[in-house]
Structure 1
Amino acid sequence: MMNQDWVLHVEAFAKIKTADVRISPLMYFVGDNNSGKSYLMSLLWGILTLGKDLFPKVPSESKAYKKCENWLNQNVNQNKELSGEEIELYVSWFNDLLANQKKSLLNKIFNYEVEAEKIQIMNYYRKRKFEVCWEQAAERYSVTETYVKFPVQETYSREQILRMNAYICWNILMEGIAEPLYTPMVKGRRMGEPVYLPASRTGFMLTYPQLIENSLQVSFAPALQENSSALTLPYVDFLQLITKFESKGKLGKRKEEIVKYIEREMTRGNVSIRKEMLPVIKYRPNGTEKEIPLYIASSIVSEISPLLLLFKSDINFKTLIIEEPEAHLHPELQQKMARLIINLVNSGLQVWVTTHSDTILQHTNNMLKLKKHVNAVELMNEYGYSKKDLLDMDTVSMYQFVHCGIEKSRLEKLECTDYGFVVPTFNDALDKIVKEVYAFQED
């Protein structure tokens, strides 16, 4: 689980007047259509994915950076636990980088000129200590949940101090939720890079050969080239992710349990992939040995296949973003999807979701209530749940997007009550339908 949390604050971003999102292991964006959910989720993905490229290549003379440089020069070769004020030096430096490069960052993410008056990280909070350590025998930079470690030298150049400062800053903000700062490419992706599963997955999975041919023109190397496709970068990244899917014969225990659950409870069959010039995906329903192409299979299979193949593949990631996980799912399967999401969070992943499903949110509320129920053990046995299905209130947050004025929206944080989260936009729509039921019912 994350050892840190912080608030992403935006003002006049696309159609969003203002928003403050405190990240958490499980996060839901709900609300009206066309209100900005995907915009804000794409921005979060972009900061986690492209934020490492904001750091300068040569020592900066900015006031924010000079404070970090001076602090590190005063503390080289001595182990030091950072205070809140010292951590804030690095948060301020990152915000300075965001402010100066937000236009190019937004252009890369959205492949379009999207405006934002302010993008800022605020209210940083750390659950565990964070130390800067030095070791004589160390050969490289390293990081754990509680420290970064550097090799000891007698002297350090300004370039070396910059490199270490960037490493400290990135891990203060992103350790455990994004890729490490200095990580080699593995099969075209960086270890720990966030995964974005966009809406319209069925369409992408059925037309990916043609779409991939265009998207592969976009380089996803650190020196990111201009996106020449007609898609936003999260969507381009998803298409490139498909080319990395590969069925592994041996999975770790955690991935194996997830795969078995999806194939048993949701796809009711095996989804496999064969690597040729482009990936070839086949589906084999339970009870038969015959494989069929994905385009012949049910839409539930094509919709869930990217999630299933992600866990069948040797792809390392720490944060999973899913748009509309309920798409094409019967309410029973929506509940099973909600159960899967909670299982993923309890296994250590961050899962951030945009959704219109009251079924998914009701199951989330049920697991929050069951967690603290006085008869939890008996109810778990009766309904077939285990500890990995339960949800702690501190683990989940929910935000509602509401239209306000012409082409504008605002973000509201929904509070978790003893009954779970109350979502006004869902309840208002359901109340209207219920009133019509009574009004149109004949005596």
Structure 2
Amino acid sequence: MKVKIRNLGVIKKAEIDLKPLTVFIGGNGEGKTWAAYTLSAIFGQQGYGHYLKAYLDGNTQQGYPTLDSALQQLFEEGNAQIDAVQFANEYAETYINEVARLAPNWMRSFMATDRAKFNDLKVHLNLAETKAEFLKKIKAASVQRNISLGLLNAVKETGNNILYFYAEGDILKKLPEKVIKQFLVREIFQLLHREFYAYVYTFPTERTTFITFPFSSFKRREVISEELLTDTDKSELEQRGTPLVEPVKRFLEMILASYQKKDREEEIKENLQLGEYVKLANFLEKEILQGTVGFETSEFRKELLFQPKENTKLEMPIVSSMVKELAPLVLCLRYLVEPNELLIIDEPEMNLHPAAQVEIAEFLAMLVNAGLHVLITTHSPYIVDHLANLMQAAKHEEPDSIKKMFYLERKEAFISQEKVSVYLFEDGTAKNIISEEGTINWETFGKVSDDVSQIYASLLKVKD
């Protein structure tokens, strides 16, 4: 999926091809994080929620005659059908671009800023190269929803194109027309939106601070999205200080959801892929963290602990920065993620030793090969340079024969070049820096290394 971004902070014009693994690199202040957060805003639930409300309030430019016809049929006959695949073929690109078009209206709230301006922001998405795969996802999707104790229903079976709506009894006469319209529109928009990315998890750089919080004392309304808060809630939050950017709120929600979630045995029975994510969480603990992360209930509270040895357990505020850095990813994989979800990780190398940075590059590739999407921003030459190694390894005819050359010794970390994009952000734009051969041509860090070496050489000459 290709994305064009215009007038986003320092970014004047950028074109990005989003792949299963997308990497943003570049100097500080070049717009990497803003670009990542903007994509999170559009593809996440904020984008869907704001657009749904605007459409139902009549504040959008785009109309959908298919929805109008289905709604009329539902009122007249008590049932209606929408060919979801045909609807997606006709409107999916229009829909997501309408979401993007409205983003400037709420980006200041999303970014928790009164000073930054987003009036001229423009984001455009092109699905031409990925539409066929997108339509396959729509066809494979299932829907089973109802309201009013099951008297108004929406159903779509896996492999069936048709999304059915039907009412029982005289419920259509009892419910307000607005509620019925909201139900129908919500189901078709949500179906479209979730097939871009089923959900978006954001790991902001602030994560090493927030993972130490005592989540048992949180009230859920303190971290949920602003549009779901009452006026009283908003007033209370404003009095507490600077508001949090939406990615941080969502991160807190993620940790709180992990805290409240039980083990996934029943879910895994329904979807075996979830078991693979639990195994990846365990692998991350064993091979990189060298210990286990888990919640423990004491006499007074439930808290998150790290266990580096059998008889040793440590509270999160006193563990190493690497554990604070990666513990949220363990929790997300163990309790929450599902296939086709997007993980946006701001600087995954933060607080990691160079060897651990190489290991995390391999681990992120393993996540992608397990059906997740990953977008990272990074300053790490170890991650970027090793990514080239992983792409070259994927071309090898006998991957088992070379896996011991790699830090995690897993061939599942070898990733096809077709799944990767790397963009260098500088001078107000973003440039694709993967060559056809799979090399990554970046000069940002190489130039700094050369400069440092040159300074040393020059000092020796002066000394002589």
Match of 1:333 in 2: 356
CA distance in 2, matches of 1:123, 1:342: 25
Residue of 201, 212, 229 corresponding to 2:207: 201
CA distance in 1, matches of 2:262, 2:81: 44
Alignment of 1:395-406 (within 5 A): 395-402=419-426, 404=427
Confirm or deny: 8 A CA contact 1:399 1:412 kept in the other structure.
yes
SS in 1 for 2:343: strand
Deviation at 1:324, TM superposition (A): 0.8
CA distance in 2, matches of 1:249, 1:204: 23
CA distance in 1, matches of 2:225, 2:193: 22
Match of 1:245 in 2: 258
Q: Which moved more, 1:114-123 or 1:218-227?
A: 218-227
Confirm or deny: 8 A CA contact 1:195 1:321 kept in the other structure.
yes
CA distance in 2, matches of 1:64, 1:292: 54
CA distance in 2, matches of 1:216, 1:224: 7
CA distance in 1, matches of 2:122, 2:159: 26
Deviation at 1:27, TM superposition (A): 0.8
Residues 256-311 of structure 1: per-residue CA shift (max 9 Å, x gap)? 3212322222221122223688752222213x412122222222222222112223
Confirm or deny: 8 A CA contact 1:215 1:236 kept in the other structure.
no
* Aligned amino acid, residue 64 of structure 1: Q
Deviation at 1:367, TM superposition (A): 0.8
**Long gaps (5+) in structure 1:** 179-192
CA distance in 1, matches of 2:40, 2:209: 22
CA distance in 2, matches of 1:386, 1:416: 25
Residue of 90, 93, 99 corresponding to 1:91: 93
Confirm or deny: 8 A CA contact 2:216 2:303 kept in the other structure.
no
Deviation at 1:103, TM superposition (A): 3.6
CA distance in 1, matches of 2:60, 2:275: 48
Cα 1:260–1:424 change in 2 (3 A) is same
Alignment of 1:57-76 (within 5 A): 58=56, 60=58, 64-66=62-64, 69=67
* Aligned amino acid, residue 253 of structure 1: G
Match of 2:76 in 1: none
Match of 2:412 in 1: 388
Question: What's the TM-score once normalised by structure 1's chain length?
Answer: 0.78
Match of 2:111 in 1: 110
Match of 2:148 in 1: none
CA distance in 1, matches of 2:445, 2:159: 38
* Aligned amino acid, residue 55 of structure 1: L
* Aligned amino acid, residue 242 of structure 1: I
Q: Is residue 47 of structure 2 the alignment partner of residue 51 of structure 1?
A: yes
Cα 1:35–1:88 change in 2 (3 A) is farther
Residues 206-245 of structure 1: per-residue CA shift (max 9 Å, x gap)? 3x24998598435438645657453211112212322222
Q: How many residues matched? A: 411
Cα 1:103–1:278 change in 2 (3 A) is farther
Cα 1:145–1:285 change in 2 (3 A) is farther
Deviation at 1:9, TM superposition (A): 2.5
Residue of 186, 190, 197 corresponding to 1:177: 197
Deviation at 1:395, TM superposition (A): 0.8
Confirm or deny: 8 A CA contact 2:83 2:162 kept in the other structure.
no
Cα 1:61–1:141 change in 2 (3 A) is farther
Match of 1:281 in 2: 304
Q: Which moved more, 1:32-41 or 1:8-17?
A: 8-17
Q: Is residue 125 of structure 2 the alignment partner of residue 122 of structure 1?
A: yes
Deviation at 1:87, TM superposition (A): 3.2
Cα 1:144–1:342 change in 2 (3 A) is farther
Alignment of 1:364-443 (within 5 A): 364-374=387-397, 376-380=399-403, 383=406, 385-402=409-426, 404=427, 409-440=428-459
Cα 1:300–1:58 change in 2 (3 A) is closer
Cα 1:106–1:212 change in 2 (3 A) is farther
* Aligned amino acid, residue 52 of structure 2: F
RMSD: 3.8
Residue of 322, 328, 341 corresponding to 1:306: 328
* Aligned amino acid, residue 149 of structure 1: L
Cα 1:90–1:259 change in 2 (3 A) is closer
Confirm or deny: 8 A CA contact 1:212 1:239 kept in the other structure.
no
Residues 178-221 of structure 1: per-residue CA shift (max 9 Å, x gap)? 3xxxxxxxxxxxxxx32111113222233x24998598435438
SS in 1 for 2:222: coil
Match of 2:243 in 1: 230
Confirm or deny: 8 A CA contact 1:325 1:355 kept in the other structure.
yes
Cα 1:213–1:104 change in 2 (3 A) is farther
SS in 2 for 1:416: coil
Residues 66-112 of structure 1: per-residue CA shift (max 9 Å, x gap)? 555478789974758539xx73544334434543x334320231112
Q: Which moved more, 1:252-261 or 1:71-80?
A: 71-80
Confirm or deny: 8 A CA contact 1:245 1:273 kept in the other structure.
no
Confirm or deny: 8 A CA contact 1:211 1:239 kept in the other structure.
no
* Aligned amino acid, residue 217 of structure 1: E
Deviation at 1:319, TM superposition (A): 1.3
Question: What's the TM-score once normalised by structure 2's chain length?
Answer: 0.75
Q: Which moved more, 1:310-319 or 1:61-70?
A: 61-70
Residues 23-64 of structure 1: per-residue CA shift (max 9 Å, x gap)? 221111110112111111111111122111112463748652
Match of 1:150 in 2: 164
Match of 2:12 in 1: 17
SS in 1 for 2:345: strand
Match of 1:262 in 2: 284
Deviation at 1:158, TM superposition (A): 9.3
SS in 1 for 2:258: coil
Q: Which moved more, 1:42-51 or 1:414-423?
A: 414-423
CA distance in 2, matches of 1:284, 1:382: 29
SS in 2 for 1:105: helix
SS in 2 for 1:231: coil
Match of 2:150 in 1: none
Q: Which moved more, 1:303-312 or 1:320-329?
A: 303-312
Residue of 31, 35, 39 corresponding to 1:36: 31
Identity of aligned residues (%): 20
CA distance in 2, matches of 1:62, 1:314: 33
